[in-house]
A and B are shown apart, each in its own frame.
Chain A
Amino acid sequence: MHIKEEAAERHTLSIVVDNEAGILARIAGMFTARGYNISSLTVADITEDHKVSRITIVTYGPPEVIDQIIAQLDRLVPVHRVTDLTDLGPYVERELALVKVAGTGDHRIEALRLAEVYRARVVDSTIASFVFEVTGNPDKIDKFCELMREVGLVEVARTGVAAIARGREAA
């Protein structure tokens, strides 16, 4: 007997929650308990009084699983609302990465040239290394890191995705 896997689609969920102790464990724990995927998770408070946070989760699953994830999130007591940005319409997704590259000579020049193409800023440098700050959608950052691998990539730190709906209305 073999275990079957189902085709999955990518969805970005925006979850507005009470900023209380244990909230992140409650949300993330629901995903692990029910066998759902988290490919990226970001969280920070978003109101002046620091009482409300937005959690952005990128997840994968068949459409009926995505529906179930939203319903399960929605019934957690401290959750204000859950929005499926992927379903809702156009939205903006951004991620920030810090990328450390070490090298000399041609590699160093090539790294700087590529950084310019990707509008990455140099935020630290030594004679033999750079740290670049690059912002964009996850695909762009993937691509940048892939190129840097050719010219001396040392390590990467990524923030995960923050996302918001386009247009004037709050989602």
Chain B
Amino acid sequence: MASEKSGADILVQALTDLGVEVVFGYPGGAVLPIYDAIFKQKKIRHVLVRQEGGAAHAAEGYARSTGKPGVVLVTSGPGATNVITGLADALLDSIPIVVITGQVPTHLIGTDAFQEADTVGITRHCTKHNYLVKDPAQLGAVVHEAFHIATSGRPGPVVIDLPKDVQIASASYTAPTAPLQHKTYRPQVKPEPTLIETAVEMLAAAERPILYTGGGIINAGPQASEALRTLQKLTGAPVTSTLMGLGAFPASDGAWLGMLGMHGTYEANMAMNKADLIVCLGARFDDRVTGRLDAFSPESRKIHVDIDRSSINKNVRVDLPIVGDVGQAMADMIAVWNARGHQRVNQTEWWARIDGWRARKSLAFPSSDHEIMPQHAIRRLWELSRHRDPIITTEVGQHQMWAAQHFHFERPNRWLTSGGLGTMGYGLPAAIGAQLGAPERLVIDIAGEASILMNIQEMSTATQYRLPVKIFILNNQYMGMVRQWQELTYSSRYSESYSEALPDFVKLAEAYGWTGLRIEKPDDLDDGIARMLDTNGPVMVDCRVAQLANCFPMIPSGAAHTDMILHSEEVTGEASDEAKALV
């Protein structure tokens, strides 16, 4: 029998055995034994954030850019409640993170003890699974199981709540030698072969096919992105993607239609609307994508590949549901296609229509020589940094959509954005996590002046660990997306959307030991971006942009794909109650 260790030592040993290199955390009373165990070892690096919410997003950024699970360690009570937003974010975007929370000792649970919160109760709905460990002998197995659940199937956040007395008590621990076989949790990875065959037949017969891809392809690993490229070449189908899936297919490829959905391109949305076959690969027919459901792609048959059965037929009824890993499914489709010697159907007419939609140039924006257009700023940032293959994070709002439209990605794991939950304050901690996972890479947080203030304290974390992250703020002095909706649906009644009393971001940067830059004129844009990129340490850029620019194209809430707004002139001042009631 193995010698006994304290719960805290078992935890640290299990994390080490699982290959964990970095833990994002913040100490407190209920995790002191774990922090002492961390102090006494050298294998796991602890990164001290400035607020626990930052730790959760940093772990997400690390997970999304590296493909490895992110790990968080926080104390009980407020430590645990501060990570809730990050948990909900990781749940909606299917990001594997494991969060260890301290808890009051078992005999005090339920007594309203100091810094007690019902962590498993509170986190039940924003985790894939959670645990309260009361027996140190179970701890090692729970940690291994938690990682298995977080990273397999549809990935997601898992919480382990660990009372302080369990951290102190001793038990034996041996690392499992065989891969974990869970008694109830067995995600279906391998798709049903007959369904794959049917899918290939449908693809081979389609005259107007489209591949509608999502974050599932990124989660399925780099080989899934490769398989997507191969599948596209074989079938000749155009490719569009959700916000989460950007980078899985190269934006420079002729078959790329750009992002679809509310702020997607005209060609992507029109192609979805007119297609005779939609192959949904690792996406989930989210409301941002479908627009009005009863008008969504009326002429198409639909194939949906998803590892989570509950995603299928949730919003849109499909003709062929395939449960399984999307990378595996595409590899199987390629094998069947090749084995049967299928040839591409002639799609000349389909591509001619697509070219007609492309000619509308839906991403065009007005130019200005006296103020910086935010779209132009993103384009220049892309053009000046693309040779360094940067990792881009964003906050949430107009700048996020402009980045999705105008910054182009060739490879997966370069685009880290809060899609499902839409969490302002995500970008800076995510950039910190990504930079820790890839110290040599260029990591840029494209931000808005309102969002960046939501986790501004994490600048201090970057300073402490000498992380050269860049923050590029598109400062229009408004919560731009809120203001845009107020303009479009509430006759420009700008209720509380003006960013009053902003800090001087250059001085703020300097106060944290960063370099601060301000760009105010279009003529200074390129120089400013170049200075940011050439500066070794962390840089915050306050880029003053046109205040009232709107993000187009746009499908208003409750409208069909064919009812896109391409320009401001098409907008009426007040929306109907039905439209106002939608998110």
- Contact partner, A74, options B121, B132, B310, Cβ 8 Å: B310
Task: List B residues 147-167 near A (Cβ within 8 Å).
Answer: 149, 154
A21 to B309, Cβ gap below 8 A? no
Q: Does B194 sit at the interface, judged by CB under 8 A?
A: no
- For A25, A71, A72, A77, which residue has the most chain B Cβ atoms within 10 angstroms? A77
Using CB atoms, name the residue of chain B closest to A71. Answer: B310
| A77 and B149 contact, Cβ closer than 8 Å, known pairs A18-B184, A22-B124 | yes
Q: Does B308 sit at the interface, judged by CB under 8 A?
A: yes
* Contact digits for A14-32, partner B, Cβ 8 Å, 1 yes 0 no: 0000100110011001000
Q: How far is the CB of A110 from chain B (nearest CB, A)?
A: 49
- Contact partner, A1, options B129, B182, B183, B577, Cβ 8 Å: B577
A68 to B313, Cβ gap below 8 A? yes
Q: How far is the CB of A66 from chain B (nearest CB, A)?
A: 11
* Contact digits for A144-165, partner B, Cβ 8 Å, 1 yes 0 no: 0000000000000000000000
A72 to B310, Cβ gap below 8 A? yes
Using CB atoms, name the residue of chain A closest to B580. Answer: A1
- Contact partner, A64, options B183, B185, B309, B317, Cβ 8 Å: B317
Using CB atoms, name the residue of chain A closest to B579. Answer: A1
Report Cα–Cα, A41/B308, bound state, in Å. 26
Report Cα–Cα, A78/B145, bound state, in Å. 12
Report Cα–Cα, A13/B124, bound state, in Å. 22
A64 to B313, Cβ gap below 8 A? yes
* Contact digits for B288-327, partner A, Cβ 8 Å, 1 yes 0 no: 0000000000000000000011101110010000000000
Q: Does A142 sit at the interface, judged by CB under 8 A?
A: no
Q: How far is the CB of B219 from chain A (nearest CB, A)?
A: 16
Using CB atoms, name the residue of chain B closest to A80. Answer: B184
Q: Does B125 sit at the interface, judged by CB under 8 A?
A: yes
Task: List B residues 398-435 near A (Cβ within 8 Å).
Answer: none
Report Cα–Cα, A26/B182, bound state, in Å. 19
* Contact digits for A103-143, partner B, Cβ 8 Å, 1 yes 0 no: 00000000000000000000000000000000000000000
Interchain pairs with CB closer than 8 A, number: 43
- For B124, B182, B317, which residue has the most chain A Cβ atoms within 10 angstroms? B124
* Contact digits for B560-583, partner A, Cβ 8 Å, 1 yes 0 no: 000000000000000001100100
* Contact digits for B177-201, partner A, Cβ 8 Å, 1 yes 0 no: 0000011110000000000000000
Q: How far is the CB of B148 from chain A (nearest CB, A)?
A: 10
- Contact partner, A21, options B132, B182, B184, B581, Cβ 8 Å: B132
B313 to A67, Cβ gap below 8 A? yes
Report Cα–Cα, A77/B182, bound state, in Å. 9
Q: Does A75 sit at the interface, judged by CB under 8 A?
A: yes
Using CB atoms, name the residue of chain B closest to A74. Answer: B309
A22 to B578, Cβ gap below 8 A? no
Q: Does B284 sit at the interface, judged by CB under 8 A?
A: no
A68 to B124, Cβ gap below 8 A? no
- Contact partner, B128, options A1, A21, A77, A80, Cβ 8 Å: A77
| A78 and B120 contact, Cβ closer than 8 Å, known pairs A33-B125, A68-B314 | no
Report Cα–Cα, A122/B391, bound state, in Å. 75
Q: Does A96 sit at the interface, judged by CB under 8 A?
A: no
* Contact digits for B108-148, partner A, Cβ 8 Å, 1 yes 0 no: 00000000000011001100110010000000000000000
A77 to B184, Cβ gap below 8 A? yes
Q: How far is the CB of A3 from chain B (nearest CB, A)?
A: 9
Report Cα–Cα, A22/B310, bound state, in Å. 22
Report Cα–Cα, A29/B120, bound state, in Å. 12
| A29 and B124 contact, Cβ closer than 8 Å, known pairs A68-B313, A75-B308, A77-B184 | yes
On chain A, the residues within 8 Å of B182 by CB distance are: 77
On chain A, the residues within 8 Å of B154 by CB distance are: 75
Report Cα–Cα, A68/B578, bound state, in Å. 26
A25 to B121, Cβ gap below 8 A? yes
Report Cα–Cα, A21/B308, bound state, in Å. 25
On chain A, the residues within 8 Å of B577 by CB distance are: 1
Using CB atoms, name the residue of chain B closest to A32. Answer: B125
B581 to A1, Cβ gap below 8 A? yes
Q: How far is the CB of B88 from chain A (nearest CB, A)?
A: 12
Using CB atoms, name the residue of chain A closest to B323. Answer: A71
Using CB atoms, name the residue of chain A closest to B577. Answer: A1
Using CB atoms, name the residue of chain A closest to B309. Answer: A71
On chain A, the residues within 8 Å of B314 by CB distance are: 68, 71
| A25 and B129 contact, Cβ closer than 8 Å, known pairs A18-B184, A68-B313 | no
B184 to A75, Cβ gap below 8 A? no
Report Cα–Cα, A21/B125, bound state, in Å. 16
Report Cα–Cα, A46/B5, bound state, in Å. 36
Task: List A residues 65-114 near B (Cβ within 8 Å).
Answer: 67-68, 71-72, 74-75, 77-80
B124 to A77, Cβ gap below 8 A? no
Report Cα–Cα, A147/B182, bound state, in Å. 51
6 residue pairs bridging A and B, Cβ less than 8 Å apart = A68-B314, A71-B310, A71-B314, A75-B154, A77-B129, A79-B184
> What 9 A-B pairs have minimum CB-CB distances, sorted nearest first?
A71-B310, A1-B577, A77-B129, A77-B185, A71-B309, A72-B310, A33-B125, A80-B184, A75-B310
Chain B positions within 8 Å of A, measured between CB atoms, are: 120-121, 124-125, 128-129, 132, 149, 154, 182-185, 308-310, 312-314, 317, 577-578, 581
Chain A positions within 8 Å of B, measured between CB atoms, are: 1, 18, 21-22, 25-26, 29, 33, 64, 67-68, 71-72, 74-75, 77-80
| Given A18-B183, A80-B183, 19 new contacts (CB under 8 A) | A1-B578, A18-B184, A21-B132, A22-B120, A22-B132, A33-B125, A64-B313, A68-B310, A68-B313, A68-B314, A71-B312, A72-B310, A74-B309, A75-B154, A75-B309, A75-B310, A77-B129, A77-B149, A78-B184
